[in-house]
Structure 1
Amino acid sequence: MALVVNVAFLQLQILAGLLIINIFSFSPTSLVASQPALTLDYYSKTCPTVFEVVRKEMECAVLSDPRNAAKIVRLHFHDCFVQGCDGSVLLDDTITLQGEKTATPNVDSLKGFEIIDSIKNKVESDCPGVVSCADILAIAARDSTVLVGGPDWEMYLGRKDSKTASYELANSNLPVPSEGILPIITKFLYQGLSVTDMVALSGSHTIGVARCQNYRARIYGDYAVTADQSTASESYLNDLRASCPAAGGDDDTVAPMDNVTPNLFDNSYYQILLRGEGLLNSDQEMYSSFLGVQTKQLVLQYAHDPLAFFHQFAQSMVAMGNITNAVDGGEVRRSCRFVNT
């Protein structure tokens, strides 16, 4: 109930023109101050090989399929927006626990769990019972980004794995492709993240794909309105519609969110938004919505300055990764899919 009240309040603030990032001191993330701070050298003595192990496993995964990089980055994002970065998204359903994997924003969308399982097994061989699944996921997301050409960032560690999950929060906290700009901004602010963080983190869509179910309304809706009238744009739209029919098509058909360099982490995603060709409504709204005054300026900046985008993306990933679980005392799971018994 508290989430509903806070979200409603945030929306009123935005609509009133009071989009001031620092006013949201009541965000749940403010509760984590009592927890031990994450540190750069957390495993320096207890598991000094963790970075090497994770990097080698991610190198193999990305080499076998570049799309695996996007899968791991998305997993980390979906983890952090529900109870903080606590590995709760990795938990399978059991008789006593309903996980987050079947929540609407996650089902048929999240992939890459077996990659994290493989990394966890390797790390456990070197350092049994030491490294949390939440930390493994955070490191893997950083390495995934770097391996496809993206920026590096300092890795703060010491997260604990949650003993719980929240199907309900997964349904309410996570942005969805059909949403407009105000609800998405609200969800980022609720996590203690800024509008700048939102636009920068959305840049991870420069890699990865979306399902037809999530962009069908867009390509049969206002896509033709926002996109330029070039022959190339019309051809691309026709191709999208051919593979994703308005009715009777396969919802699981996928298309890259960056159709220019889909396997390279760069700033072409923002350039696509400038042309009005964003695949998802939630992406294009950042540039095309009349409510997106601040987001439009950021899209323009990142489209023309890749270094600025890389710098901010790295900073925003650190900020997101620092959201920890303020309620659950946590543990280091032996298996990422199940709590310890």
Structure 2
Amino acid sequence: MEIIPYRLYTVPLFCLLFLGHFVSGQLDYNFYDHSCPNLTGIVRNGVASAVAKETRMAALFCAYTSMIVLSIGFEVIDAIKADVERACPSTVSCADILTLAVREAIYLVGGPFWLVAMGRRDGLTANETAANEQLPSPIEPLENITAKFTSKGLTLKDVVVLSGAHTIGFAQCFTFKSRLFNFDNTGNPDPTLDASLLQSLQQICPNQADSNTNLAPLDSVTTNKFDNVYYRNLVNNSDFFSQTKLSWGTTELLPWLCCTTGFPIFCLSFQNINGEDELHWCTYWT
């Protein structure tokens, strides 16, 4: 499998959901009730079909600024968009379709359900440089990640809740292998990493170049279920992304590590980022 640079791969999603502006006053839960009454069902069926064929697809939808570097996903959104266009031509934005798809994917794998306000417009331009600068990296410290989110009007709690999307899916070994063999250029593994997890990951990701594209589950306990095990792993030093290896357990954020009920709250903040127009094909900006 080819290594897909996490920054370039997530440029379309990042530009759509993170580089716009907040326009929550323009959104409406009943926005498409008359113009496209079957929208939710069309999106739900499209997501369910995709996840049935490839379980990891749910992870791709769940992680807005995905660090799960799989070269799949937008063909599904395009297929859903095509179905929507047949039912409701030139009516529904890709931003709204993608937001609904995230909700449906999370609910499909056991996560919470929440109401989604509609009425976003799609951006017609993409800024790769801005995305590369502002999209969080798997190796960035918490303060850098927090700064990128707060600059968009989000909060530290939003960062914690978004991190919970890593409760399902996989990551390629190259994104975290340094923690397994050469942490901070010491020539040794990260001493804070759980010993049993370290052994398991070293088997999946041996210290050789041809293992870089091997896939390791972000949550080895309940890999395909949206639950709070990711947070338990985080508190127990069983999370392998260095940027989420944090001392959250000793801060005011501890309650946010206890369950996933905060995720819809984050989505209600994050989904209000908007663009300018409506696209007929969702990969237009790639």
Report Cα offsets for 1:35-91 as digits up to 9, x if no partner.
Answer: 8611111111110110010011111112222211111123x446xxxxxxxxxxxxx
Q: Does 1:195 align with 2:156?
A: yes
C-alpha change, 1:109 and 1:182, in structure 2 (3 Å) is farther
Q: Is the 8 A contact 1:267 1:302 kept in 2?
A: no
Asked if residue 317 in structure 1 is aligned to residue 267 in structure 2, the reply is yes
AA at the equivalent of 1:39: D
CA distance 1:314–1:275, change in 2 (3 Å): same
**Aligned residue-pair number:** 263
Point out the more displaced range, 61-70 or 145-154.
61-70
Question: SS of the counterpart of 1:226?
Answer: coil
| 1:61 and 2:50 correspond | yes
- 200 and 192 in structure 1: CA distance in 2 versus 1, 3 angstrom threshold: same
2:243 to 282, 295, 301: 282
CA distance in 1, matches of 2:52, 2:90: 29
User: Aligned-pair distance for 1:302?
Assistant: 4.2
Alpha carbons of structure 1 residues 109 and 204: separation in structure 2 relative to 1, 3 Å: same
The residue aligned with 1:45 is 34
Instruction: State the TM-score, normalizing by the size of structure 1.
Output: 0.71
How far apart are 1:154 and its partner, in Å?
1.4
> How much does 1:172 deviate?
0.9
Cα deviation, residue 283, structure 1:
1.6
Aligned residues of 2:122 and 2:274 also touching (Cα < 8 A) = no
Tell me, yes or no, if structure 1 residue 72 matches structure 2 residue 46.
Answer: no
* Aligned partner (choices 85, 88, 91) of residue 130 of structure 1: 91
In the TM superposition, 1:146-225 aligns within 5 A as: 146-220=107-181, 221=183, 224-225=190-191
TM-superposed CA distance for 1:32, in Å, is 4.1
- Corresponding position of 1:336: 282
Query: Which secondary structure does the structure 1 equivalent of 2:245 belong to?
Result: helix
For structure 2, the 5+ residue unaligned runs are: 1-18
Matched, 1:226 2:188: no
Q: Distance in 1 between matches of 2:127 and 2:247?
A: 28
Of all paired residues, the percent bearing the same amino acid is 34
Gaps of 5+ in 1: 1-27, 79-104, 228-232
Backbone CA RMSD of aligned residues: 2.4
CA distance in 1 between counterparts of 2:167 and 2:133 reads 25
Greater share of residues in helix = 1
- Counterpart residue identity of residue 214, structure 1: T
Structure number, greater radius of gyration: 1
Name the counterpart of 2:16: none
Distance 2:173 2:223 in 1: 16
The answer to which of 176-185 and 109-118 deviates more is: 109-118
